[in-house]
Structure 1
Amino acid sequence: MASKKTPARQAQAGATLSEYAGVRYLHLGTEWVQGAMRVRKPQHIELEYVQRMMAWMLWRPTAELTQGQAVQLGLGAGAITRFSHQVLKMRTTAVELNATVIDACKLWFHLPDDDARLTVLHADAARWVADPAHLGTVQVLNVDLYDHEAAAPVLDDEAFYACCRGVLADGGLMTVNLFGRDASFERSAARIAAAFGLDQVWHLAPTKEGNTIVVAARGVVVPDRDTLIARAEYIRERFGLPAPKWLRLVRPLRLPA
Structure 2
Amino acid sequence: MHADRTSFDAYLKFLAEASHDGTPKVLETQHALSLHFDALATQSFMSRKDPDKLVLGYTRTMMGFLLLHPVPARISMIGLGGGSLAKYCYRHLPNTKIVAIEINPAVIALREQFQIPPDDERLEVVCADGADYVANQDARPDVILVDGFLADGMPVQLGTADFYAACHARLADTGVLVANFLESDPDIPLYLEEVSTAFGQSMSISLSEDSSNYTLFAWKGAHKLPSLDALIARARILETAHSLSLTAAARRLKRGERLASDRAAWSKLARPQLRY
Q: So what's the TM-score if we normalise by structure 1?
A: 0.85
Match of 1:171, SS?
Answer: coil
The letter of the residue matching 1:196 is F
d(CA) in 2 for partners of 1:17 and 1:132? 32
1:224 maps to what in 2?
Answer: 227
Moved more, 161-170 or 176-185: 176-185
d(CA) in 2 for partners of 1:20 and 1:254? 44
Shift of 1:241: 0.6
Q: Deviations over 1:169-213 (max 9, x none)?
A: 010101000116443222211111111111x10112355553000
d(CA) in 1 for partners of 2:154 and 2:75? 26
2:258 aligned with 1:249: no
Which one of the candidate residues 194, 198, 202 is aligned to 2:197? 194
2:272 maps to what in 1?
Answer: none
d(CA) in 1 for partners of 2:229 and 2:248? 15
Structure 1 spans left out of the alignment, 5+ residues: 1-11
Q: Greater Rg, structure 1 or structure 2?
A: 2
RMSD: 2.0
1:1-257 paired onto structure 2 within 5 Å: 13-20=22-29, 22-60=31-69, 65-89=70-94, 90-106=96-112, 108-134=113-139, 137-150=140-153, 155-179=158-182, 181-198=184-201, 200-206=202-208, 208-220=210-222, 222-250=225-253, 251-252=256-257, 253-257=260-264
d(CA) in 1 for partners of 2:67 and 2:60? 13
Higher normalized strand content (fraction of residues): 1
Shift of 1:254: 2.2
Contact 1:17/1:25 (8 A) holds in 2? yes
Total equivalences in the alignment: 238
Identity percentage over the alignment? 26
Q: So what's the TM-score if we normalise by structure 2?
A: 0.80
Q: CA separation of 1:206/1:66 partners in 2, compared to 1, >3 Å: closer, same or farther?
A: closer
Contact 1:99/1:122 (8 A) holds in 2? yes
d(CA) in 1 for partners of 2:66 and 2:78? 18
Off by >4 Å, runs of 4+ in structure 1: 151-154, 206-209
d(CA) in 2 for partners of 1:124 and 1:152? 10
Match of 2:54, SS?
Answer: coil
